[in-house]
Amino acid sequence: MGVAQTAFTKMSNTEEFKTKLNEMSKLVKTIESNFSQEKNLSILSKAINSKGYFCYKKENKVRWEYTEPYSYLVIIRESKLFVKDKNNKKQYDTQSNKMFQELNNFLVGCINGDILSKTTDYKIEYMENNVQFYVKLVPNSKKMKDMISEIHIYFDKKDYSVSRLKMVEQGGDYTNIEFLNKKLNGVISDEKFIFN
């Protein structure tokens, strides 16, 4: 049974949190997790739900695998982007799909906590409750703000891993990604990042 969460209040010791997060980030070599994603658009009465599997291996290997509402796989490895869905299997260089690579880098930065080191790019607010640290980032650049006006990252107090990521757009539409069954530093075969 889960612990009832208390309300978020201002974080008591942000320096300690940042130091520990940094230490954990250095120690974490792999992350593996299932995820459930909810996209809320003001024009829709119901959210668009997606599910899948995520894994990350240092330095820059990422696998995002959607299983619902349709099968879709993105692998990033050595500045190559590989995309596979039911009908297509393609490899792109980052020049032709720079936008998607930037987005992926941003998402990975949120998940491994590296984004918090970009203090000149974001205004950052730190909060906590009994089970989670909660960090709210507001981008400084107009370009980024036009795309995402706020980023909310929830870290598990037990291991400093990200348990929820919420990206809010101008106008209030948002994407909420919950990471479930997380496994840190497990063995992840390099085959997971091979394009086939």
Partner 1 sequence: MRNLFLISLSVILFSACHFSVCHSYKKVKSDETKRNFDTYFSDSDSSYLYQSEIRFMKNYYSGMMVIKHQSDSVSRVVFLTEMGIKVFDFEIRNPLNYKDFYKVFYIMEPLSKKIIQKTLANDLGLLLQNAGEKDKKYYISKNNEDIVKIKNHCKHYLYFFEKDKENFKVMDVHSLCLKKAEVFFYSHLGLPPDSISVHHSGMKLDYTFRRLKQ
- How far, CA to CA in Å, does 62 sit from each of 4, 88, 115? 33, 19, 16
By beta-carbon proximity to partner 1, the closer residue of 119 and 170 is 170
Give me the residue label for tokens 């990200």.
162
Which of 99, 119, 141, 194 forms a contact with partner 1 (CB under 8 A)?
99
Q: Which of residues 117-156 bind partner 1 (CB under 8 A)?
A: 143, 146-148
Sign, Cα dihedral of 97, 183, 181, 119 = negative
166, β-bridge pairs: 152, 176
Nearest to 177 by CA among 127, 108, 105, 76: 108
Which of 8, 53, 92, 195 forms a contact with partner 1 (CB under 8 A)?
92
Which of 27, 103, 180, 194 forms a contact with partner 1 (CB under 8 A)?
103
Residues near partner 1 (CB under 8 A): 37, 39, 41, 43-46, 48, 50, 64, 66, 69-70, 72, 74, 83, 85, 87-88, 90, 92, 96-100, 103-104, 107, 143, 146-148, 167, 169-171, 173, 175, 177
